[in-house]
Each structure stands twice: as C-alpha cells, then as structure tokens.
Amino acid sequence: MTFFKEFRLAGYQPSKKMYRNFIGPILFLFVFYQASSQTAVNTISKKASFFQDTELINSDIKKAHLYAQNLATLDSADYYLNKFYSLSKKINYDKGIIEFFRLKAVSYFIQQKEDSLSQFIEKAFNLAKGSGNLKEQALVTDLRAFIFQSREENDSATHYYIEALKIADKLNDTKFSAEISNNLSTIFWSIGDYNKAFEYAANAYQNGLKLKDTLLITNGLFNLGNAKTSLKQYDTGMVLYNRVNEFTTDPVKYNYVLFRALANEASILTDRNKLDESIRKYKEIIKLSSSVAPSLLSYIYSGLGAAELKENLFNDAEMHLTKAIKMGEDAGEKTGLRDSYLLMSNVKKAQADFKSALFYREKYEQLNDTLTSKAVNKDIHQLEAKYNTVKKDSKIAQQQLAIARTKNIIQRKNAVNVALIAALAFLLILGFLIYRNILNRQKLLRKNEELKKEKIRELEKERKLIAVQSVLKGEEEERNRLARDLHDGVGGLLWGIKLSMSTMKGNVFLPEESARSFSNVIAQLDQSIAELRRVSHNMMPEALIKFGLKEALENYCESVNHSKQIQVRVQTYGMETRMEQSVEIVIYRIIQELLTNVIKHAEAEKVLIQLVCGDDKFNLTVEDDGKGFDTKETSVGAGLANIKARAAYLNGSVDIVSAKGEGTSVHVEGSSVTSGL
C-alpha cells in the first residue's frame, strides 16, 4: 500500500498495462506468501496441539493403568479411560485407542466378567495388529498370558509369554523382557521346576538393577525368594523377602508382592515349627489386607490354617481353611485351593471325620492331577526350548551374516583361500554327519537291546502273575470244597448224632446225674455244629455267593462286632451293581486278612473300612487307631505277602501308612474287572 501511495504523491497514475505486467504479479506473490505463511503456522500449530494431546493421553493411560488393577479404584480407572479414549478418537491416536480396550480388559478381569474380558482383549489385539504397533501387540499378548497364568492354565500362559518375549526381543526392550522373565519364573515355580524359576527371576532382577526399576527389582527378589524357599534354603529366602520389604514403599503399586512376601515369611516360620510367631504374623497380615484381592487373601488364610493345624488348633484351622477354600473357589485360584483341600482333609482326619477327610482328599487329588499334568509341564518346557532355539538361531544368523561379509572381503583378496576354507568346511560337515550317523546307529542298537530286556522282564512278570493266579484259584477252590465237605458231610453227621441222642433221651429213663451229663453232651454237640458252621461260612461265606460283597462284608463285620474284641465300621460307595464273583472273593479275602492282622497285632479299639467302586476300579482303605508300627523297621510277613499277592492279581497296589502310636492306614487300589480265578 505504501508503494501505491508514493506513486500518487508524485503525480503518477499507473495504467492497466502496468497493473497486468508488474503490479498484478506482485500482488499475487504477496497474497500467496500470506496464504503459505498461514498454512505453515496452522501446520505447526496442529503439530504442537497433537503433541500436547498425546502427552495428556499418555499421562492419563498411566493413571488408568494404576487404578484398573485394584477393585477399589475402578471408578477412577473408568474416568481416565473414558477421558483419554474420547481424545484419542478425536485426534486418531492409535495407541490411545488400543490402550483403552487393553485396560478395559484388565478392569473386567479384576471384576471377573469373562464375556466382556474376552471381547475387549480380542478387540485390542486386532487393533494393535492392524496398526502395526509391535509394542502394543506385545502388551496385549502379555496381558493374555497373565490372564491364563492367573487361571493357572500354565501351558497357554507360557505360549503367549513366549510370543510376547519374541516381540520384546525384536524391539530390544530390556524392561519388557525382564517383566516377562518374572512371569515365566512364577510359572516354572508353580510346576515345581525351581531351578528354572530361579534362572528367570535372576535374569529379571539383574535387568531391574541395570534399569534402576524398583518394580522389576522387587518382583525379581520375590521370585528369587520363592525359588530358594522351595529348594529348602530358608535363610536365603528370608533375606530375599526382607529385601522386598525395603523396596515396597508404595502400597497401591506393590501390595501384591508385599503381602505375598510377608505370607511366605510366615510360611517359613511354620516350616521351622515357630508356630506362635507364624500365627501372629499371619493375623497381622490379615489386618493390613483390606485392598488385597480375594485370590491372594485365600493364600494367607490357607497358610494360617496350616500353622494352626500343626499347633493342633483344629477348630481355628477349620474356620480359616473354610474361608481360604471359599475365596480360592470364587477366584479360581487352583494352586492355593489344592493346598487348602489337602490341609482341610488333614484337619477332618484329626477330628475323626473320615468321610469329610476322604471328600477333601479326593478334591485335592483331582486338582493336583490337573496342575501337575506331565503333558502340560512337557508343553511348557517345549515352548521354552523352542523360544531358546529361535533366539539362538537368530544370533547364529547374525553371526553368519557378519562372517559372510568378511568372506566377501577375503574373496576379493584371495579366492584360493576361500575355496580351501569352503572345502575344509565341507569335509568337517561331512565328517560330523558321518560321526553323528554312527552315534545314532549305536543309540538305536542300545535302544533295541533295552526293548528286548524290557520284553523279557514283562514276560517274567506275566509268568509270575499267572503262577500267583493259579495258586489263588487253587486256594479258593480248596476252601470251597472244604467248606462244602464240612457243612454237608461232618455237619450233617453231627446233626444226625444230635437228633438220635435227642430221640434217645425222650425214650430212655436215666438217673438225674446221667441225664445232666447226657444234656451236656447234646449242648456240646450244638456248640460243635455252630463252630463248624462258623468255620465253613468263614472259608466261603454263603452271603458272598448269594448276595454279593457288600452283604458279606456287613455280615462279617457284624460277627466281629458281636465278639466285642473290636468295633468295626464299614462304608461302601458305588456298589449298587455287583462285580465279578472272583473279584469280590479276592477283595473279601484281603479285608479278612487286614482285619485279622488288626485284631492280632494292632491293639486297636476301632477300625474303619471304606470301599469305593466305579469306572472299572476299586479303592479300599482300612484304618485303625491302634499302636501302629515303623514301616521301615517291620519285615513283610505272610499275611502282608498274601495281601500284596491278591492285589497284584487284580492289577493293583498296596500302600501302607503307619507310625508308632499313630495307628495304621492301608490303601489298596486295583481293577474291578478280571478274567476271574
């Protein structure tokens, strides 16, 4: 504008041609400059605004992550989740959108809302995969692994941890790799591989020290303490747990690992029989546990119950273990629940409630079989081995790439040397292959030899079993024959004599003294006939043949009870359908032999017989409250040898648990289906 003004002051009027040729282009350039400047300013302003928005979103993500892990702070978590999700959608920020679904999944996991959990975690994974954001893919995969680990589905958890670990390795994310190592440490600890658990925990702890990350250090120390304690190195375990306490200054951030460390310290006190200290410590922990998840609290109540059981406080132990079982079942905490079932079984046994003891023992066995499944443990180790192989192959590939580059330089300088090296490498590989082939052949020969020896052992075992079967069959047939001969032959003869003498007494007049003697003879004949019937029925009970094992056992135990030598109680389950007669006879003989041993040797007052049948199997338990014996010091007698032989005939086994002054429990397990005696 100043330019035009100066021209007018000089009396100059610009023509249309001048506007077109000179002033017009200048105006265009001026307008273009103004527009470009405004666009640049707008672009810079948008970038600054986006940066500020993402900073705000990332700050809110951290807050939401902290609150989403605690049931008491989920309202605060939802506030920050909705806040950063709205802003993320507005500016199209992928990380914020993915984190919303991932942290909502965490929230639903805490609330145990399985349907919503599955829906949101799947959405988070698909969004992360679609965006190409490897870190977010790793975070979602890690969350999946943690959820499976919390459900104690360790094979699935290991699979997803390994997948997350592969991504972390690609990103060279040391912190994330260390966090996954801590989680893998807990998995290997839960399946009983404590050395492997220590190895992963040590890796996480060392990386935590390098990164100066308190949470990594704390979790690493806790897992190291678990491994050392499980390896019976209690002093080291206590030192490590005490170091955990030094780092746990933030109760919201560290409450899980802090309470687990305190609980494990109390558990060590229990193992060392410092029961008063242990019980006091558990109760102090419970007072501090208002914000602790029920799954963790179930461990604390279970540990308290264990200490009280050891202190013979059975009612207190029952009360706290009931709480532990309820919390464990509600939270799906299988490892702690398994231990609580076993402890409750021992409490019930101590209270002489054998039915409840058996109930909890069976629940323990079922859950323990699931958790210690060899197939699952094998899968976990295979997954880890595959990951280590891939990791090793990756390093080898990098090394081979460097070698190839070096070879390329050497090739330019000396082609002959390269050819010689290649030939030498070929010869080495060929020699290695030949050597490995020879080793494989030797292994195959050894394996075939072992298979032959195993076959011979199996044939020998089968021969012995057939011999035992023949002996048992002959024994039972001889018993049956003797029983019939005694009952029908000698019994009939005695009965005839008694009848004749009774008739004679009525027809012959005898003096009073002779009549009394005559009556005594008839009474003795009655006793002889009764004793003969008892022996005959004992050799082959009529009730066993006609009505089955259950009726025969009840009759037999009733006759023992009538003798008032000992009180016998019988409990049977699943015996609505009869087994094969030969199986019933063998089981009956085993119980006869066991009860005879108790009467002869145990000095017991009570005996409990439990027989459970089902799924072509039977489980027999005979427990007494007698004086017991040391199983290591006592030699195998003829009675026990007979029991084991009969059990072997039914493809079964005999397990004896006894100690001096603590009674005896004999457990026999075998097949209820056989070809017969």
The string of pLDDT tens digits covering residues 203-213 is 888 888 888 88
Lowest mean pLDDT among 235-239, 403-407, 431-435, 652-656: 403-407
pLDDT in tens, 125-148: 899 888 888 888 888 888 888 888
Lowest mean pLDDT among 26-30, 286-290, 314-318, 554-558: 26-30
Q: Spell 358-377 as b/e; 16+ CB within 10 A means b.
A: bebbebbeebbeebeeeebb
| Domain 546-671 annotated CATH 2.40.128.280 | no
Give the relative orientation of helices 94-111 and 74-91 as an angle to the nearest 10 degrees. 160
Q: For position 677, what pLDDT does the model report?
A: 42
Residue 518 has pLDDT above 50, yes or no: yes
Is the torsion defined by CA of 383, 384, 390, 393 positive or negative? negative
Per-residue confidence at 182, pLDDT binned at 50, 70, 90? confident
Residue 52 has pLDDT above 80, yes or no: yes
Q: For position 336, what pLDDT does the model report?
A: 80
Lowest mean pLDDT among 215-229, 492-506, 580-594: 492-506
pLDDT in tens, 574-620: 888 888 878 888 888 888 888 888 888 888 889 999 999 887 889 99
Q: For position 254, what pLDDT does the model report?
A: 45
Q: For position 638, what pLDDT does the model report?
A: 65
Q: Which is more confident, 333 or 57?
A: 57
Q: What is the DSSP string of 177-219?
A: HHHHHHHHHHHHHHTT-HHHHHHHHHHHHHHHHHHT-HHHHHH
What's the mean pLDDT when you consider all of the chain?
A: 77
Residue 310 has pLDDT above 80, yes or no: yes
Q: Which is more confident, 467 or 103?
A: 103
Q: Which is more confident, 631 or 47?
A: 631
Per-residue confidence at 623, pLDDT binned at 50, 70, 90? very high
Residue 37 has pLDDT above 60, yes or no: no
Q: For position 135, what pLDDT does the model report?
A: 85
Residue 79 has pLDDT above 70, yes or no: yes
Taking residues 269-274, what's their average pLDDT?
Answer: 88
pLDDT in tens, 634-670: 665 667 777 888 888 888 889 999 888 888 999 999 8
Q: What is the DSSP string of 97-125?
A: HHHHHHHHHHHHHHHT-HHHHHHHHHHHH
Per-residue confidence at 73, pLDDT binned at 50, 70, 90? confident
Q: For position 537, what pLDDT does the model report?
A: 58
Could you tell me the pTM of the whole model? 0.40
CA dihedral 483, 484, 487, 489 (to 10 degrees): -130
Per-residue confidence at 35, pLDDT binned at 50, 70, 90? low
Q: Which is more confident, 238 or 111?
A: 111
Q: State what percent of residues in the chain have pLDDT above 70.
A: 72
Per-residue confidence at 397, pLDDT binned at 50, 70, 90? very low
Q: For position 404, what pLDDT does the model report?
A: 55
**Cβ distance 575 to 613 under 8 Å?**
yes
Structure tokens at 312: 């013979």
Residue 31 has pLDDT above 70, yes or no: no
Residue 469 has pLDDT above 70, yes or no: no
Q: What is the CA radius of gyration of the chain?
A: 41
Give residue 144's Cα distance to chain centre.
19
Name the DSSP letter for residue 651.
T
Q: Which is more confident, 677 or 611?
A: 611
Residue 345 has pLDDT above 90, yes or no: yes
Query: Which among 666, 505, 517 is positioned nearest to 601, based on CA atoms?
Result: 666
Taking residues 510-531, what's their average pLDDT?
Answer: 69
In CATH, what is the architecture of 269-366? Alpha Horseshoe (1.25)
Query: Which among 320, 270, 318, 319 is positioned nearest to 297, based on CA atoms?
Result: 320
Per-residue confidence at 12, pLDDT binned at 50, 70, 90? very low
Residue 216 has pLDDT above 70, yes or no: yes
Taking residues 20-48, what's their average pLDDT?
Answer: 53
Lowest mean pLDDT among 229-238, 333-342, 405-414: 405-414
Q: Which is more confident, 97 or 234?
A: 97
Q: What is the DSSP string of 348-393?
A: HHHTT-HHHHHHHHHHHHHHHHHHT-HHHHHHHHHHHHHHHHHHHH
**Cβ distance 548 to 556 under 8 Å?**
no
SS3 51: helix
Q: For position 232, what pLDDT does the model report?
A: 81
Structure tokens at 396: 């080898």
Residue 318 has pLDDT above 80, yes or no: yes
Residues sharing a CB contact under 8 Å with residue 97, sequence separation 6 or more, in sequence order: 85, 88, 89, 127
